[in-house]
Each structure stands twice: as C-alpha cells, then as structure tokens.
Structure 1
Amino acid sequence: MKIALMMENSQAGKNSMILESLNDVAGSLNHEVFNVGMSDENDHHLTYIHLGIMASLLLNSNSVDFVVAGCGTGQGAMMSLNLHPGVLCGYCLEPSDAFLFNQINNGNAIAMAFAKGFGWAAELNARYIFEKAFSGPRGEGYPVERKEPQIRNADILSQVKAAVIKDDYLDTLKAIDQDLVKTAVTGERFQQCFFDHCQRPEIEAYVRSLL
C-alpha cells in the first residue's frame, strides 16, 4: 500500500514526529509512505483546504492508496477531503476510531487532530491509530452480526456520493479557484509522488498545465 502523509501550516512543526510513527508502523507492514505536505513551518505553505485538493489528486490518479491528513482539530481536514469525489475520509482521535472506520466504512483517508488533545504520549496515540488503520482486514463490519448491512450501506454511501457529484472529476477541479489548485500541487515532494505514480494521463496533463 502507498500512503501519503499531508500536514498543513498550523501543525507542520509536528510533522517529523508523526512521520516517524507512521514510518515505523508502515515499514513493518511493507507499506510505502510519502510525506507530501509541510515538513516544518518554513515549508511550502498549505492550509487544510489545499490538503483536500492534494488528497483528491493522489487518490483519483491512483498515485497512492490511502491518505493520512490532519490539522489542529482534524475537523477542517476531514471536511476538506470529503468535499472531493473519490475520497472517503474518517475522523480518528483514538485507535478504536481507526479500527471501526476500517471495518465499517472502509474508506481511503483519515483526518487526525494534531493540536486538540495532543499532549503527553501523543506520539504513542498516533502510532496506535496507524496500527489499527493499516493492519488486519478491512470492511468486515463490526460487530460481526452487523456485517452484511454495514457492507451494503458503505457501498450505498459511495454510490450516493458519486450521484451527487455529477461532473467529471477534472471539471470539479477546474471549477475551483485555480490559484488554490496550483498552490496545492506546487510542493516538490507532492510532485514527486504524483508524477512518479500517477496512473491517469488526463489528470497528469491537467496538473502539468498548472505548472
């Protein structure tokens, strides 16, 4: 699995801590991590709005399989990611959230709070969230007796989102302020991950046109 970590300006100073915890877990499971957001306060400036655009590009182009995002509370990142087609982002404050999101909703992104409640042993909580997010089976329902309706409802939710967002994916990006999109794709590490792994030529061409 290819996993993208993206952090915005308010919590960029915690990137090295979160990246280390994510790498420790992902490495033990043979997953690959790409640190595509801000690595410190002086890095290419991003807000949680940019994170949603970045996540949608990476997931819809099959450049990565999963996105770990966040902001101070995690709420802004979750809303920003969920605005976009092809992105199903859960809100994870503790390991049980990650486990239940995987089992019941089986999405492709999580949003974490990197300020609210981020105190003593926060790095351990992050590590345990990642362990539940990236180990074991997915989409099997919880509890077991609720498996069938949960799998069915997760599929219906995806269908409803696809029906509500009727435009072609690239049309949705082009409808956004293009300066926002350009800022989102200008980071060097984002570009390396995207261009090295993009499997949708039309999306790649669009991003190159912005640059």
Structure 2
Amino acid sequence: MSDLIFYTNPMSRGRVARWMLEEVGAPYETVVLDYGTTMKGPDYLAINPMGKVPAIVHNGRAVTEGAAIVAYLAEAFPEAGLAPTAAERANYYRWMFFAAGPLEAVTADKALGVAPTADQQRMVGYGSLDHVVDALEGAVKANPYIAGDRFTAADVFVGSHIAWGMQFGTLPQRDAFDAYVARIMGREAAARAREIDDALMPQPVS
C-alpha cells in the first residue's frame, strides 16, 4: 500500500487536491469514490466521517478539508518549495483561509439563491458578495501571486476557487481575476492534474 493515498471523485473539490499532489510530485495512489455508495460506506467514513472528498492518508494519518490538505502537503514535502517563507506566511494563511471561509460561503449561498438581508450580513461572516469580491480583487492585484512574488500552495487553493467562480458564474468577471488565473493555470502540474481527472470523468453512454 502506498504511503500517500488520495480519495477523490473527478467531479468534486478533489480536483484542487489533485493539482497540489501533482505540484508536490510525490508518488500517490488514487482511490475514486462514488457519491452514493463508497463515499458513504463504513471504510471511507472511518477516514472522513463527513462522507465527502477529498481526503488523503499519509503514513497512516488522515487529512480532510481542501485547505488543510493543500497546506499539509506543502509542509510534508518541503522539497517542492510550496510552503511559505517567513515573509510570505501572513498573506499565505490569510488568503488561503479567506478562500476556505468567506469565499466558499458566499459563493455557495449565491449558487443556492441565498441573499442575507442587511441585518443578517453582520451574522454571516462574509458580509456580502461585493465585500468578498473587492477584498479578493485587492489580494490578486497586490502581488503577482497570493503570498508575494512567487507561486505557493496558497495559489493552488485560492486560484482554483477563483477559476471555478468565474466558470460557474458565482464570481463576477474582473480583469485582475482573469490575469491571475491565466498566470497559474498554465503550470505543468495544473494541466497534468486536469488531464488525469478529466480522464476519470464518467463517459456518456452511446
């Protein structure tokens, strides 16, 4: 059995973890789970009681949640050079967890047609979609990459969310987002990860 096992479905946030795994370059085993069966089965629930993907098991220890997986892999494989330096650490963690918190929440609410009232905006954490988008735009304008002048693991996570948001219409089109996504999505590891996951997609019945 591999020291690094990746549990995923090609139609899930597992695509973010796949990209990070390809950036890291360490050998790993892929286990593809089905939403209605194996993802809810006892074997996988022992790894992730939420019954969702992605998850990894590295040297017998499970890690779930996309941002945690990305951050963990950056630290577990320092030779990949994707963890932050001391100078990059503030932006790295700030914006990675901004994407995992306010950005995920507000885009999910938009997709579900949930629009907090002015009074409710004080409760939901993200305030409003405009607040989140403006803050995120400022982050990608400030530097070439999220943490500074070079690509880090935070770009895998934040960049994936921006790309998906523009693709599915939960984020508005902004020039700064277009430029940032173009910078990161052309990476060899990103292209390789997309190719692997696309090949695992269900094929139409002829």
Q: Output the TM-score relative to the length of structure 1.
A: 0.32
TM-score (norm 2): 0.32
For the pair shown, which has the larger CA radius of gyration, 1 or 2?
Answer: 2
